[in-house]
Homo-oligomer: A and B are copies of this chain.
Amino acid sequence: MTTLLDTINGPDDLQSLTVDQLTQLAEDIRQTITHSVSRTGGHLASNLGVVELTIAMHRAFDFHRDRLLWDVGHQCYAHKILTGRRKMFERLRQEDGLSGFPSPAESDCDVFTVGHAGTSIATALGMALGAEHNGTDEKIVALVGDASIVNGLSFEALNNISLVKRQLLIVLNDNSMAIDVTQGAMAGFLSRVRLSHTYEDIRKTTNRMLEHLPLIGRRMEETLENVKKTLRMAISPSRLFESLNIAYFGPVDGHDIASLIDLFKALSELDRPALLHVYTKKGKGFTPADDNPCKYHSTGPFELNGESETPTGGERTFTEAFGEGLAELAGRDDKIIAITAAMPDGTGLAKFRRRFKNRYYDVGIAESVAVDMAAGMAKQGLKPFVCIYSTFLQRSIDQIFQEASLQNLPVVFCIDRAGAVGNDGPTHHGLWDIGYLRIWPNVVIAAPADEWELHRSLELAARSDSPFVIRYPKDTVPAESYSSQIPYQIGKSAVLREGDSDFVLVALGWPVGQALQAAEQLEQDGLSVTVVNARFAKPLDEALLEWFRMGKTVISIEDHGIAAGFGSALLEKATETARKENDEQFLDSIGRTVLLGAGDVYLPAAKRSKQLFWMKNTADQIVETVKCLKYQPEKVDS
C-alpha cells in the first residue's frame, strides 16, 4: 500500500498538502520511525515528539537555503525522512547507511554534524552574524531542547545573542512533562511556567500571537511590546529570557501543525533574535511494541545523548559491571558520591541512585560543573566519582586541569564509551581521552580489561590521593578475567604469557583479550609471543621498558587513537630511559615499536567490531601484523 509519505521526496512536496494531509503525514512518519528504529536502534521517544514541529518547520522555511541548527541532533529522524532520505532510513546508524545525527554529507538541509549538546544557539549566532556580513537574507533557526538549554555553552550563546541585529529564531522544544525529577533551576522555572497555565491558556496565547504577529514588521518594536503585554500569565515565562534581552514568545502547542506553520512564518519576519517556547510530548503516539516493551522503556527520559540500546544476547556490559561495582563499593564506604551529567542509565548509575539517593547527583547536561562540583566535594574529604562518557568529558578538560590535576584532588573519573563506539559514529567516539588526560600531572589512568580489573580499579580509585581515571569501552565484559591471578597495583602491568620469539604484545584495556587470542593463533603457527596487559596508561610501568632492553619488538595495542595515546607515551618514556642507558639493543628496539590504534581520521559509524578492525585491534589483525613483521625482508646497513 502506498502511503502519503511515499510521495514525499523532499520538503518541496510538503508545500501543496492540506493541514489534514500534513496530520496524516505525521502519522506515516511516526510509523516509519517506530518500525525502523525497532530494528536499527536509535532514539525513539524524542523523535516521535518532534514530528509535527519538523513538518511545520519544513513548511514555513526552505532548508535548502534557510539554515536549521539541531541541538544534540538525535531528534532529526523526521527531518531526514522529509529531506530525500526516506528510502535510506532503514539503514539508519549502519555502516554506509544514514548517520543517526545530522550530516551535511547526506543532505544540503543539514548544516553541522552534531551529537553534543548546547551547540545550536552558538553556531546559529555565528551563522546569523555571517549572514549579516554577507548581506544575505536566509533565515536561521536553532532547535534546542529543554535539557540542552541548561548547558553552559547555550547560556554563553544566549548571553551574546544580541550581537545579532537580524532574524534568528530559537525554538525551545520543551518536553519536560515526562520528567519526574526536576533537574536544576531552569527546569524548575520551565516547570513552574507549565503548571501556571492550562491547555486553554496555551491556545489563547497562540491565538493572540497569531492575531498580532502579522502586524510585526521590521523595526516595529512598539507593536512587539504590545503583543507581549497581551501575553502575561501568572508566572511570566518571558521573565527569565527577557532579563537576558531575548524576545520570548509562547508557550505554544508543539503538535498543532497549522498554528506552528503560521507562528514560524510570522516570527521569521522579525528583524531580531526571538525565542519560541514549544511544548511537545516525548514519545507521542507510540504504543510500546508487544514483543519488546522493555527495550523501549529503557530509553530513559534523560538519555538525550548517544543511543541507549543494550547489546543483543544479554551479555553483561562494562557499564553494568561498573554500576554494580560502584554500588557495592559505596555500600562499604559512605564517602563515595556519584555524579552524572544527565546520563544516569547510560553510565550505569541506576542501581546506585536507588540505593544511595543522598549520595547521587545529576547536574543535567553540564559536564563542566560536574567536575568542579566533584573537586569541591573532594576538598571536603568526600570521594566523588564523576561518570561521564569519554566524548562528553571533552567538555570538562579545563576543569580536570585546574580543579583536579593542579590541586591534585582525588576526583575519580569513570569514563564509559572510551574507545570506538560503533553506530553512534564520529561525534561520539571515545578515542582521545588518554591524549587529553595524560598531559596533566598527577593523573592516574587505568584501563581495565575485564570486570575483575574494573572492580579492582574502583577500589584503588576510592583509596587514591590523586585524580584517578578509569576508562572502559561500550562493550561486553569477557566471561572470565584475564589476569586476576596477578595483583592489581597502580602503574603495574601484568605479563599474561611469555613467549620465546622477539614479539611482545602490550595491550591496554579491551584489546588484551584480542592479544591473547592472537598469541594462541600464532602459537599454532609456531610463533610464541609474549602478551602483557599494560593496565595503566599513566603512570607507565617501568617494567615495560624491560622488553625494549631485551631487544624485543613491542607492539602496543589500544582502543584509542595513536596520536598522543598509550603507545605514544611508551615511546616517550622508552627514549628518555634509553638515552641514559645508551644501550644499542635498547635503542634499536625502540625504533621497531609498532603502535596499533585509530589513525588520524574520523572512523565512520559502523559496528564497533568493524571499527576495531580498522584500528587493527582485532586478534586476526594482530596476527597479521606480527607475521608481516616476522617475515618482512630486513634491510641491513653496513
| A residues adjacent to B (C-beta < 8 A) | 104, 111-116, 118-119, 122-131, 133-134, 150-163, 184-186, 188-189, 239-240, 243-246, 335, 337, 358-359, 361, 363-364, 366, 368-369, 372-382, 384, 392, 394-395, 397-399, 401-403, 406-407, 426-427, 432, 435-436, 438-441, 551, 561-564, 567-569, 571-572, 574-576, 578-579, 581-595, 600-602, 629, 632-637
Contact = CB atoms under 8 A, between A and B. Distances in A.
Contacts of A593: 575
Chain A, interface SS category? helix
B369 A157 contact: yes
Nearest to A155: B155
Contacts of A592: 575, 578-579, 587
Interface hub of A156, A392, A578 (most chain B Cβ within 10 A): A156
Contacts of A395: 398
A369 B571 contact: no
B394 A134 contact: no
Contact of A363 (B131, B156, B375, B427): B156
A160 B133 contact: no
A419 to B, nearest CB: 14
Nearest to A104: B407
Given A151-B152, A185-B159, A564-B564, A373 B122 contact: yes
B131 A160 contact: no
Contact of A407 (B113, B246, B582): B113
Given A184-B159, A240-B243, A435-B564, A591 B572 contact: no
A404 to B, nearest CB: 11
21 contacts: A113-B407, A123-B375, A125-B372, A126-B378, A126-B379, A128-B376, A133-B337, A151-B156, A153-B372, A158-B185, A161-B185, A162-B184, A239-B239, A243-B243, A432-B439, A438-B563, A439-B563, A574-B591, A582-B632, A583-B635, A587-B588
Given A185-B162, A376-B122, A571-B572, A112 B403 contact: yes
Contacts of A128: 376
A185 B245 contact: yes
A527 B112 CA distance: 55
Given A395-B398, A406-B426, 20 more contacts: A115-B402, A116-B402, A122-B369, A129-B361, A130-B376, A151-B152, A152-B155, A155-B155, A155-B156, A156-B369, A157-B369, A161-B185, A185-B244, A243-B243, A406-B427, A441-B601, A441-B602, A551-B637, A568-B572, A575-B592
